[in-house]
Structure 1
Amino acid sequence: MENVDTVERKLIWWNKRSVKCQDLTPVLLLVFFLCGCAQKQYKEIRQGMGTLIEITVRAEEKEAKSAIEKAFKRIEEIEKILSVYNPSSEVSILNRVGKISPSTELMEVMKEAIYAGDMTEGAFDVTVAPVVSLWGFGPPARNPGIPQEKEIKRALELVGYKNIVIDEKNNLIYFKKKGMQINLGGIAKGYAVDKAIEVLKKEGIKKAIVNAGGNLYAMGTTWRIGIKNPRREGILKIINVKDRAVSTSGDYERFFIGFYAGKKKRFSHIFDPRTGYPAEGCISVTVIAPTGIMSDWLSTGVFVLGPEKGLALLKKLKIKGIIVRPDMEILEVK
């Protein structure tokens, strides 16, 4: 790492119930509850998937509390499989060994990740892990900083989702290149939200919302969702959502500010896997999609692609989205 004079560093502080939770993804989507509903609402917030997860259910108390507990348990199961920070997770084992006989969950996520890579022409790439770690945003834990160009080039040699082999017949996932690693940070939360919603439906819940930081699914009734302003306190836009997933990716989630080429500059945790540098064309992207997993990878992919190509992809897929440029111009696919 170069000795970079960092004038400001911000890696997210969240204060909840007098407990500081450092390095958690902040809540980028706010839920505004509508009044006049005959059913009571029950809500619980817990830490998980590197963020704060909020599950809200409209049902009778006993039914609601039982369903919420089971939904959180399912999220915990998924985190144990997909977390890059848990050394015993399947992802960590795959990163160390280079191959694994995956669980159903990991197989599902990896198949979707390959599809996401194809749809975004490589703008979304789960093998970007070496780059993320090099900049200090992934394990091993260390202060973020600007790497040397030669370090970035070396890390990029290990990036390329097409070097992942998925052998469904023999239930095997392996890497073609030694030293490759994956980071599912741009897809795992959306998947976990989907699975939590599946549990709630199985438990007979008709109206609910699962909000995992910047990823949520609103079920059964119309929910008002506030998208946070990426540059100041307050709400950028309020949208109405029913039976759809919403995901926001922004350069204000986790970042540091340092000097680069003599100028003060923001470096976010969302990387362009093709260049090895943080993506810069957007400051916030919100996607409204049929599933949480799709909204998750698509918001990241559009962010990396930039406003023009990102907008074109949303139109091609017939997916609603909101893109905010660095000058705060808003582009929207309705």
Structure 2
Amino acid sequence: MTEYDNSIQRVKELNTMTKAYQSQNIFFAFGVLCTLTVYNGNRVHALSKAKAYAQEIDRKNRFADAVVIGYAAQQIKHIFVREGVTEAVIKLGDTVINMGKTRRHGIRNPFSKDPRYFAYLDLGKKSMVTLIASELQETAFTQRSNIASVTLIGSNAVQLSELCAAMIGYPPEEALTLLDGTGFEAIIVTKDEQVLTTSGLSQKQQIAA
């Protein structure tokens, strides 16, 4: 290989590295690790605006709960749409918004201190929010519940966050009944390590251990 060929190869490698850097942005906000991955559209402007927005919301809400995080994720999606982005993944902790083609996302194990996944779920143009009971402030309501974690799938991260927070204090079977006819799907892990799902989820999407 000539010196010219080496130079061309190096330029290609740098271009690939630059694209990879522009397509992914990792930062810390809301007390969680946030990952923004943009596959097309105006990457640089979309990522910079989204990151700045998330950090501003974080600054104003030092004790952000799941609903604030869901709101931030939904607003970042709006920023991406305005910037012409159609393929992206917005991941703020356990709040995930998938834009474009379906991608597989992990569901965190509520019994592991490490960020390990006990299952993976294929998301289409959907959002997913997981809330883990042991990470919430304990109340008499949550103490009575046998739910270790709730994962909800739907189209709006704000609604999913609000619903997760409400469901986590209910008995598991009753929580699933609440979702009948709502269009939301759920995966509930109980404190005795059972995994329960809505019937629509088992029909439409595959959970892979």
The bucket for the TM-score relative to the shorter chain is 0.7 to 0.9
Asked whether the equivalents of residues 153 and 186 of structure 2 are also in contact (C-alpha less than 8 Å), the reply is yes
Query: Structure 1 residues 43, 328: CA separation in 2 closer, same or farther (over 3 Å shift)?
Result: same
Query: Structure 1 residues 84, 47: CA separation in 2 closer, same or farther (over 3 Å shift)?
Result: closer
The amino acid across from 1:53 in the alignment is: C
Equivalence for 1:258: none
Asked whether the equivalents of residues 206 and 220 of structure 1 are also in contact (C-alpha less than 8 Å), the reply is yes
Asked whether the equivalents of residues 270 and 300 of structure 1 are also in contact (C-alpha less than 8 Å), the reply is no
Query: Residues 1-334 of structure 1 correspond to what in structure 2 (within 5 A)?
Result: 42-59=23-40, 63-81=42-60, 83-85=61-63, 185-232=65-112, 234-252=116-134, 254=135, 269-272=136-139, 275=140, 278=143, 280-333=145-198, 334=201
Asked which structure has the greater RCO (Cα within 8 Å, sep 6+), the reply is: 1
What TM-score comes out, normalization by structure 2 length? 0.77
Q: CA deviation at 1:278?
A: 4.2
What TM-score comes out, normalization by structure 1 length? 0.49
Q: Deviation digits for residues 100-129 of structure 1, max 9, x if unmatched?
A: xxxxxxxxxxxxxxxxxxxxxxxxxxxxxx
Listed as ranges, the gaps of 5+ residues in structure 1 are 1-38, 86-183, 255-268
In structure 2, the residue corresponding to 1:59 is in which secondary structure? coil
Q: CA deviation at 1:292?
A: 0.8
The amino acid across from 1:46 in the alignment is: F
Q: Structure 1 vs Structure 2: percent identity of aligned residues?
A: 24
Q: Deviation digits for residues 167-200 of structure 1, max 9, x if unmatched?
A: xxxxxxxxxxxxxxxxx61310000000001001
RMSD of the alignment, in Å? Answer: 2.2
Q: CA deviation at 1:211?
A: 0.5
In structure 1, the residue corresponding to 2:53 is in which secondary structure? helix
Between the aligned partners of 1:295 and 1:277, the Cα distance in structure 2 is: 18
Listed as ranges, the gaps of 5+ residues in structure 2 are 1-18, 202-209
Between the aligned partners of 2:33 and 2:117, the Cα distance in structure 1 is: 19
Q: CA deviation at 1:270?
A: 4.3
Query: Structure 1 residues 279, 209: CA separation in 2 closer, same or farther (over 3 Å shift)?
Result: farther
Structure 1 or 2: larger helix share? Answer: 2
4+ residue segments displaced more than 3 Å? 275-280
Equivalence for 1:16: none
Between the aligned partners of 1:316 and 1:222, the Cα distance in structure 2 is: 24
In structure 1, the residue corresponding to 2:193 is in which secondary structure? coil
Q: CA deviation at 1:279?
A: 5.5
Q: Deviation digits for residues 124-152 of structure 1, max 9, x if unmatched?
A: xxxxxxxxxxxxxxxxxxxxxxxxxxxxx
Give the number of equivalent residue pairs: 178
* Mean CA deviation greater in 42-51 or 201-210: 42-51
